[in-house]
């Protein structure tokens, strides 16, 4: 039997996996030996922290490289990834503006930023220079909004508009990165830099053929290789412009790097990836997974966060991922849930002091019949013994219930109606 051990990122469809670098019982894989038939098989190995695989070249394809593990790759496999240096923790500043007041302003900001990003991408596609000062001005509006209220723009980032995905993805990554940065206590200058990097992180895609960029299906191996070039192409574009802060450029160059060294283009790992690069990679993956694509169904924000947490210490640093979840909320805005009472509703406000107890707008009674919207603050409702009355039982698919989350975003009159804010003693 001819075998050789290769890094997981060198696996290819058609190879035969004879042995992993960890016990199979520690993984979800049922078979000890496996023919790699799909790219998804490789992705699963990576997700569960597999670093090397022993392949059987008699039963499958051989690895093309003569030197299977070079010195750089061996360092990946023996070093324990380290987390980046985080700023000193400090209490989160309170929001000077309530969510309802900031939401209309946040909507206008997101619209303006999206238009600006669209213009930048179109200009670069036609060979024009980036109007850096204009982009920086738009980033400043995001930072200012996040300091007024940490959740307003996050709410809008969780609502998906499937037109102009490329532009909206960049805008949402910028919003997520700034929001996460504020949660970590970064300075305003740092937030402006990470926001700028977030808006421009995919600028290299302007140089990718549209036939590949907009392909209604999965990429072939050759197409995927071309698509991955958008990172280096983006760096080239930014290098042509003065006054691009290094921290912003790191977002573009490192947003596809992964904590265990399986990302691209440099296969950086652990603290070799900057803090900005790690924040950007989390924001980028979270945002991408929550969008429907032709070749992949979107996962909900709540389910996506569960997946990301499962990938901690492999694709992402666990401590940093826990902070990301604290920022977004275990049940992010717009999650459709069922309570322990059987009532169903939408999460309309994240409780950062008690992430499992957000505010829920009840839309269906315990018999699953529609009812007038009723706001329930899960963290405040207790029985005489001080025990919480209500808790989230499970997440539901709003589409299956005919619920359009978007319609409850801006029309938030229920929040100001005292009757709706009272403890629902009779109906719940």
As a whole number of angstroms, the distance between CA 83 and CA 322 comes to 13
Task: Check whether residue 209 and residue 234 sit in a common domain.
Answer: yes
- pLDDT confidence of residue 426: 43
As a whole number of angstroms, the distance between CA 291 and CA 271 comes to 29
386 within domain boundaries: yes
Cross-strand pairs, 54: 5, 19
Provide DSSP, 132-189. HHHHHHHHHHHHHHHHH-SSHHHHHHTS---SSHHHHHHHHHHHHHHHHHHHHT--HH
- pLDDT confidence of residue 69: 45
As a whole number of angstroms, the distance between CA 177 and CA 170 comes to 10
Task: Check whether residue 213 and residue 298 sit in a common domain.
Answer: yes
The three-state secondary structure class of 7 is strand
- pLDDT confidence of residue 31: 56
Cα dihedral 174, 252, 128, 236 in deg (nearest 10)? 170
As a whole number of angstroms, the distance between CA 293 and CA 307 comes to 18
As a whole number of angstroms, the distance between CA 198 and CA 142 comes to 11
Residue 210 C-beta-side C-alpha neighbours within 13 Å: 3
Task: Check whether residue 51 and residue 135 sit in a common domain.
Answer: no
Token pair recorded at residue 205: 């895609």
Buried b (16+ CB within 10 A) or exposed e, 24-51: eeeeebeeeebebeeeebbeebbbbbbb
Interstrand relation of 16-20 and 52-56 (parallel, antiparallel or unpaired):
antiparallel
Task: Check whether residue 373 and residue 247 sit in a common domain.
Answer: no
Terminus-to-terminus CA distance in the chain, angstroms? 66
Task: Check whether residue 63 and residue 144 sit in a common domain.
Answer: no
Helices (H), 48-98: 71-78
Range of the domain at 40: 3-78
* Chain Cα centroid distance, residue 168: 13
Token pair recorded at residue 227: 């698509």
Last residue of a domain, one of 328, 354, 371: 328
As a whole number of angstroms, the distance between CA 375 and CA 124 comes to 46
- pLDDT confidence of residue 88: 60
Q: What's the domain count of the chain? A: 3
Task: Check whether residue 120 and residue 37 sit in a common domain.
Answer: no
As a whole number of angstroms, the distance between CA 100 and CA 410 comes to 8
Task: Check whether residue 261 and residue 117 sit in a common domain.
Answer: yes
Buried b (16+ CB within 10 A) or exposed e, 317-355: beebbebbbbbbbbbbbbbbbbbebebbbbbbbbbeeeb
Task: Check whether residue 314 and residue 411 sit in a common domain.
Answer: no
Q: What is the pTM of this model?
A: 0.78
Task: Check whether residue 225 and residue 361 sit in a common domain.
Answer: no
As a whole number of angstroms, the distance between CA 324 and CA 91 comes to 16
413 within domain boundaries: yes
Tokens 């529609």 correspond to 370
Here the CATH number for the domain that contains residue 263 is: 1.10.3210.10
57 within domain boundaries: yes
69 within domain boundaries: yes
> Per this entry, what is the length of the chain?
428
Last residue of a domain, one of 328, 361, 377: 328
- pLDDT confidence of residue 77: 46
Tokens 């093309």 correspond to 64
118 within domain boundaries: yes
270 within domain boundaries: yes
- Run means of pLDDT, 10 residues per run, the chain, 428 residues: 80 86 57 76 76 86 60 48 60 81 93 95 94 95 96 88 78 96 94 97 95 83 91 95 92 94 89 94 94 75 89 85 93 94 93 90 94 91 86 92 81 46 46
Task: Check whether residue 311 and residue 397 sit in a common domain.
Answer: no
Provide DSSP, 281-319. HHHHHHHHHTS-BTTB----HHHHHHHHHHTBTTTB-HH
Q: In Å, what is the CA distance from 338 to each residue of 17, 412, 419?
A: 42, 21, 22
As a whole number of angstroms, the distance between CA 188 and CA 95 comes to 15
Question: What count of other Cβ atoms lies within 10 Å of the Cβ of residue 110?
Answer: 24
Task: Check whether residue 243 and residue 349 sit in a common domain.
Answer: no
Task: Check whether residue 254 and residue 295 sit in a common domain.
Answer: yes
Last residue of a domain, one of 293, 328, 363: 328
Q: How many helices (H) and strands (E) in the chain?
A: 15, 9
191 within domain boundaries: yes
90 within domain boundaries: no
Element (H, E) at 85: none
């Amino acid at each position: 039997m001819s075998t050789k051990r290769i890094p997981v990122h060198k696996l290819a469809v058609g190879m035969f996996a004879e042995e992993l670098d960890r016990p199979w019982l520690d993984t979800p894989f049922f078979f000890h030996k496996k023919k790699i038939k799909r790219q998804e098989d490789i992705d699963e190995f990576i997700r569960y922290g597999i670093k090397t695989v022993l392949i059987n070249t008699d039963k499958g394809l051989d690895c093309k490289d003569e030197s299977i593990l070079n010195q750089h790759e061996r360092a990946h496999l023996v070093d324990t990834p380290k987390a980046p240096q985080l700023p000193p923790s400090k209490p989160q500043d309170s929001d000077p503006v309530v969510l309802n007041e900031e939401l209309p302003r946040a909507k206008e900001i997101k619209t303006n930023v999206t238009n600006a990003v669209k213009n930048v991408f179109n200009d670069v596609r036609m060979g024009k220079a980036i109007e850096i000062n204009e982009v920086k001005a738009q980033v400043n509006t995001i930072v200012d909004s996040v300091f007024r209220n940490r959740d307003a723009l996050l709410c809008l980032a969780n609502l998906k508009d499937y037109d102009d995905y490329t532009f909206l993805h960049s805008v949402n990554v910028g919003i997520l990165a700034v929001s996460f940065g504020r949660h970590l206590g970064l300075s305003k200058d740092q937030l402006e830099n990470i926001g700028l990097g977030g808006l421009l992180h995919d600028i290299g895609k302007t140089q990718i053929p549209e036939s590949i960029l907009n392909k209604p299906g999965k990429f072939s191996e050759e197409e995927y290789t071309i698509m991955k070039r958008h990172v280096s192409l983006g760096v080239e574009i930014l290098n042509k412009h003065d006054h691009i802060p290094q921290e912003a450029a790191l977002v573009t160059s490192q947003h596809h790097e992964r904590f265990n060294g399986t990302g691209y283009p440099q296969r950086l790992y652990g603290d070799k990836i900057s803090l900005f690069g790690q924040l950007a990679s989390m924001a980028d993956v979270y945002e991408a997974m929550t969008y429907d694509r032709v070749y992949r169904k979107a996962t909900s924000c709540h389910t996506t966060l569960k997946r990301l947490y499962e990938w901690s210490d492999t694709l992402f640093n666990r401590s940093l991922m826990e902070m990301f979840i604290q920022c977004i909320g275990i049940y992010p805005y717009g999650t459709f849930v069922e309570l322990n009472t059987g009532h169903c509703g939408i999460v309309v406000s994240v409780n950062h002091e008690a992430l499992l107890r957000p505010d829920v707008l009840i839309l269906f009674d315990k018999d699953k019949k529609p009812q007038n919207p009723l706001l329930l603050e899960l963290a405040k409702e207790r029985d005489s013994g001080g025990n919480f009355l209500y808790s989230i039982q499970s997440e539901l698919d709003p589409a299956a219930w005919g619920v359009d989350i978007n319609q409850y975003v801006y029309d938030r009159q229920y929040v100001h109606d005292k009757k709706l804010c009272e403890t629902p003693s009779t109906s719940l």
